[in-house]
């Protein structure tokens, strides 16, 4: 019989190695030499057995202490033939591979779950108008989701029929396969781990216990929401399994572009067009708001592009008191189709301001018109880019 190798050498760790280091070393070797990855390879099976034996001793504080003092003879009192306790093999492997779930297609019986399972949560993307985002409202949405079958109440069997014990696993939910020196359990492929089968499936849900239904749900749209805001509606997701609770519904808002207003944080931006005479002399105008109109005073000498604020006519603060402002940008328009008298008056104004002479009666207006025309072109370009 070949002499056993030192357990620390087997796992390639030092005698001062901690529990995590030993566990990682064994996990690496177990994945490499596992018989499911090396079918029929006796050498790999022996290496797997050797690594498992070493880990079975070094992971146990008491056994490791006796091994460090007396060598392989130390832990013999608690081991079976050959120095390895096969009765604890599944616990050792489960301790490692339980972290991986179904790494090699098996699952430790201690980790098998057949209890209630929570339903899947859903997400619904809802497009709303800027008015809805500012004023708040209620919307009705249609959500397709899985719900508990009302005919079989989620059992999956026709009313009056009963579930039967799975003949494949005899109700254990797992089947055991023996290979070489060890055995391994995996989820039963026939009952999918439930331990029971449906001899007479429910016709309404085809034995699934769940049916897909499109449900109308009312959604409250809070004031002040913006694109990307999300609300959680508990219990409005898909139904749970085996008595588990339903999932949740997450509604994500997307605010559509508006033809008149642009949102900047909690402020709204709009424009007001006035003549250059109104800009020079000042004027009071009515400005549209999201829910009506507001009075705005434009003082004399207003320049093109000047921004004026109307307090608290913007977007309400989400989950807070107060609102942003309505910001009005001044746009100055150039008059067209002037009468001869209007031209004379403008020329007179130009002469008074020293901006035109008697020889050039059109100088003031031409200069002013060109200036405002170019600004108007720039404004139209800005409006087009905002619409895009």
pLDDT in tens, 2-43: 678 898 999 999 988 888 898 888 888 888 888 777 777 888
Q: What is the pTM of this model?
A: 0.59
Decide whether 117-161+205-256 matches 265-387 in CATH topology: yes
CATH of domain 117-161+205-256: 2.60.260.20
Per the CB < 8 A criterion, the answer to whether 95 and 26 are in contact is no
Mean pLDDT along residues 263-278: 95
* Domain 265-387: homologous superfamily in CATH: Urease metallochaperone UreE, N-terminal domain (2.60.260.20)
* Among the listed residues 323, 317, 318, 320, the one whose alpha carbon sits nearest the alpha carbon of residue 289: 323
DSSP secondary structure code for residue 265 in this structure: T
Structure tokens at 145: 């989701």
For the chain, the residue count is 388
Report whether pLDDT(211) > 60.
yes
| CATH 3.30.200.20 for the 7-104 domain, yes or no | no
Question: What pLDDT sits at residue 107?
Answer: 44
Domain ranges of the chain: 7-104, 117-161+205-256, 265-387
Tell me the sheet residues that pair with 174: 187
Positive or negative, the CA dihedral 23, 27, 28, 30 is positive
Structure tokens at 346: 């403008």
Average pLDDT in the chain:
82
Dihedral (Cα; 363, 369, 375, 379), 10-degree rounding: 180
- Other Cβ atoms closer than 10 A to 332: 23
How many CA atoms lie less than 13 Å away from 325 in the CB half-sphere? 9
pLDDT in tens, 42-55: 888 888 888 888 89
Q: pLDDT band at residue 114, thresholds of 50, 70 and 90?
A: low
How many CA atoms lie less than 13 Å away from 159 in the CB half-sphere? 6
DSSP secondary structure code for residue 17 in this structure: -
Report whether pLDDT(344) > 50.
yes
H/E element holding 344?
A: helix 340-352
């Amino acid at each position: 019989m070949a002499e056993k190798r030192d357990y620390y050498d087997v796992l390639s760790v030092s005698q001062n190695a901690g529990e995590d280091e030993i566990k990682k070393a064994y996990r690496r070797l177990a994945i490499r030499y596992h018989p499911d990855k090396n079918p029929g390879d006796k050498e790999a099976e022996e290496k797997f057995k050797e690594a498992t034996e070493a880990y079975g001793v070094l992971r146990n504080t008491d056994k490791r202490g006796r091994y460090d003092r007396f060598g392989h003879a130390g832990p013999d009192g608690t081991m079976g033939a050959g120095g390895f306790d096969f009765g604890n093999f599944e616990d050792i492997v489960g301790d490692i591979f339980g972290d991986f779930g179904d790494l090699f297609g098996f699952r430790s019986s201690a980790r098998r779950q057949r209890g209630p399972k929570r339903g899947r949560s859903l997400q619904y993307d809802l497009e709303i108008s800027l008015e809805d985002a500012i004023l708040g409202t209620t919307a009705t949405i249609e959500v397709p989701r899985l719900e508990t079958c009302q005919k079989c109440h989620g059992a999956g069997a026709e009313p009056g029929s009963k579930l039967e014990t799975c003949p494949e696993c005899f109700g254990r939910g797992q089947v055991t396969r023996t290979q070489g020196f060890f055995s391994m359990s995996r989820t039963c492929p026939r009952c999918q781990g439930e331990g029971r089968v449906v001899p007479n499936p429910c016709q309404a849900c085809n034995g699934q216990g769940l049916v897909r239904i499109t449900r109308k749900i009312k959604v409250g749209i809070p004031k002040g929401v913006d694109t990307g805001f999300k609300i959680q509606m508990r219990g409005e997701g898909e139904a749970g399994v085996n008595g588990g609770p339903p999932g949740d519904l997450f509604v994500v808002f997307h605010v559509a572009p508006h033809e008149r207003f642009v949102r900047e944080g909690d402020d709204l931006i709009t424009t007001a067009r006035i003549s250059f005479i109104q800009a020079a002399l000042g004027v009071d105008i009515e400005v549209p708001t999201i829910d009506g109109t507001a009075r705005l005073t434009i003082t004399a000498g207003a320049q093109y592009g000047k921004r004026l604020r109307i307090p608290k006519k913007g977007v309400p603060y989400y989950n807070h008191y107060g609102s942003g402002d309505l910001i009005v940008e001044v746009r100055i328009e150039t008059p067209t189709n002037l009468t001869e008298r209007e031209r004379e008056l403008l020329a007179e104004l130009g002469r008074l301001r020293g901006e035109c002479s008697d020889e050039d009666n059109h100088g003031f207006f031409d200069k002013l018109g060109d200036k405002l025309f170019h600004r108007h072109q720039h404004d139209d370009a800005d409006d087009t880019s905002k619409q895009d």
